[in-house]
């Protein structure tokens, strides 16, 4: 007959509460953990998480829905979150929706059928229709990086407006006035915020905004290549360009190489994210760096708070805004 938790309690001499805590990912003293694991081995005990899910109505599984797994920013955040969640006994099911609203809705439906306890989402559909049914079930949702107008839920954001403002001010402080921007998709929250920061920095310096210096990209590498080429072609007087996510930054560097433009002599550039890529660029790229580790930890913490202290939350929405920083390379020239 299959061993039970009681058998493990008997074998180890520990209380059932301790054994239960072990299986639920709670804190268990190292020496007790070793005893329990020895007993599990000897008794060939196997937790049936599936059966437990039916009994407790909790599967200890968190669904994560992101636009692109193959995007460094997303991958770094998932790695960090997964570490924290797993150490608390939660599995994560990650669904990559390829920046497609229909696939995003399907991913959420898939996770609902899987009875996940909560969903972490970097939303593509910013109206949030895909999340409404899950929210009605009373289960927690935490949004990363983007807000949704129609849905009240917790979110962990980056101060994207200030991030862009800082980058453009950095150019202005070094004498640049003809500053281009490779922005993101107009319907995406982070892209709107970054664009707003660009406008704000120019306006506070009394520099008129010129439409020809603004390119609306799509946050992909190919979009960055195209944006750089178009901006350069349409603006011979442009001395600097700010690129607003990592993939487009890589694309802009490809464009610069393929056009044979010398940085910073012919064009100054500030990119976004990924310090290692910035160091591998020749010359080293100046970038706006987002606190991916901080975001990952914060998102996991907010989700765990919901799941483990369900009764104790104040009911107030949590919305944290983390700050970015500029890491200087050699890609910005000081104009005389």
Output the smallest distance, CB 220 to its own copies, in A. Answer: 10
Judged by CB under 8 A, the residue of 88, 284, 297, 301 near its own copies is 284
- Tokens coding 60: 């200890």
Question: Per rule CB under 8 A, is residue 327 in the interface with its own copies?
Answer: no
CB of 307 closer than 8 Å to CB of 143: no
CB of 67 closer than 8 Å to CB of 99: yes
Rounded-to-integer distance, Cα 132 and Cα 127, Å: 10
Among candidates 277, 121, 270, which has minimal Cα distance to 197?
A: 270
Name the residue nearer to its own copies (CB basis): 17 or 275: 275
Output the smallest distance, CB 86 to its own copies, in A. Answer: 7
Would you tell me how many other CB atoms lie within 10 Å of the CB of residue 4? Answer: 12
Question: Per rule CB under 8 A, is residue 3 in the interface with its own copies?
Answer: no
Rounded-to-integer distance, Cα 289 and Cα 259, Å: 26
- Give the DSSP letter string of 280-309: HSSSPPEEEE--HHHHHHHHHHHHHHHHHS
Name the residue nearer to its own copies (CB basis): 204 or 282: 282
Binding mask 178-217 for its own copies (x = CB under 8 A): ----------------------------------------
Question: Per rule CB under 8 A, is residue 4 in the interface with its own copies?
Answer: no
Indicate the DSSP class of residue 47: -
- Which residues are within 8 A (CB) of 210 and not within 5 positions of it... i.e. 6 or more apart? none
Question: Per rule CB under 8 A, is residue 233 in the interface with its own copies?
Answer: no
# binding residues, its own copies (CB under 8 A): 48
Would you tell me how many other CB atoms lie within 10 Å of the CB of residue 279? Answer: 13
Name the residue nearer to its own copies (CB basis): 133 or 321: 133
Question: Per rule CB under 8 A, is residue 21 in the interface with its own copies?
Answer: no
Question: Per rule CB under 8 A, is residue 250 in the interface with its own copies?
Answer: yes
Question: Per rule CB under 8 A, is residue 38 in the interface with its own copies?
Answer: no
Cα 234 to the center of its chain, rounded Å: 33
User: Which sign does the torsion angle of CA 287, 292, 295, 298 carry?
Assistant: negative
Name the residue nearer to its own copies (CB basis): 86 or 177: 86
Question: Per rule CB under 8 A, is residue 110 in the interface with its own copies?
Answer: yes
Site for its own copies in 56-85 (CB under 8 A): 59, 61, 68-70, 72, 75-76, 78-79, 82-83
Q: Which stretch binds its own copies (CB under 8 A): 50-58, 122-130, 208-216, 235-243?
A: 50-58
Helix 30-43 to helix 5-12 angle, to the nearest 10 degrees? 120
Question: Per rule CB under 8 A, is residue 115 in the interface with its own copies?
Answer: yes
Name the residue nearer to its own copies (CB basis): 88 or 177: 88
Site for its own copies in 82-101 (CB under 8 A): 82-83, 86, 91-96
CB of 62 closer than 8 Å to CB of 117: yes
Name the residue nearer to its own copies (CB basis): 53 or 210: 53
Output the smallest distance, CB 315 to its own copies, in A. Answer: 27
Rounded-to-integer distance, Cα 95 and Cα 132, Å: 18
Judged by CB under 8 A, the residue of 233, 276, 309, 314 near its own copies is 276
Q: Give the angle 319-291-125 at the CA atoms, nearest 5°.
A: 50
- Return residues touching its own copies (CB under 8 A): 46-51, 53-54, 59, 61, 68-70, 72, 75-76, 78-79, 82-83, 86, 91-96, 110, 112-115, 221, 250-251, 253-254, 256-258, 276-277, 279-284
């Amino acid at each position: 007959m299959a061993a039970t938790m009681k058998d493990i309690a008997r074998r180890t001499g520990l209380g059932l509460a301790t054994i239960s805590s072990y299986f639920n990912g709670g804190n268990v003293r190292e020496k007790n953990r070793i005893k329990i694991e020895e007993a599990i081995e000897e008794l060939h005990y196997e937790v049936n998480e599936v059966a437990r899910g039916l009994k407790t109505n909790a599967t200890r599984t968190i669904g994560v829905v992101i636009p692109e797994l193959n995007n460094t920013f997303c991958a770094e955040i998932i790695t960090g979150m997964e570490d924290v969640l797993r150490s608390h006994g939660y599995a994560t099911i990650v669904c990559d929706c390829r920046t497609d609203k229909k696939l995003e809705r399907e991913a959420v439906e898939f996770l609902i059928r899987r009875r996940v306890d909560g969903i972490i989402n970097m939303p593509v559909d910013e109206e949030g229709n895909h999340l409404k049914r899950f929210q009605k079930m009373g289960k927690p949702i935490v949004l990363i990086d983007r807000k949704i107008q129609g849905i009240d839920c917790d979110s962990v954001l980056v101060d994207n407006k200030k991030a862009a403002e800082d980058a453009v001010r950095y150019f202005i402080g070094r004498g640049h006035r003809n500053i281009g921007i490779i922005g993101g998709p107009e319907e995406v929250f982070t892209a709107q915020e970054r664009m707003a920061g660009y406008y704000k920095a120019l306006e506070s310096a009394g520099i008129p905004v010129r439409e020809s210096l603004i390119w609306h990209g799509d946050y992909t590498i190919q979009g960055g290549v195209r944006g750089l080429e178009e901006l350069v072609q349409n603006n011979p007087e442009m001395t600097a360009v700010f690129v607003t996510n990592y993939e487009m930054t890589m694309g802009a560097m490809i464009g610069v190489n393929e056009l044979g433009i010398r940085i910073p002599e012919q064009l100054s550039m500030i990119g976004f994210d990924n310090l290692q890529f910035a160091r591998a660029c020749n010359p080293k790229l100046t970038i706006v760096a987002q606190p991916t580790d901080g975001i990952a930890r914060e998102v996991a913490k907010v989700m765990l708070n919901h799941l483990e202290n369900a009764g104790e939350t104040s009911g107030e929405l949590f919305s944290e805004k983390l700050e970015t920083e500029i890491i200087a390379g050699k890609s910005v020239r000081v104009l005389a």
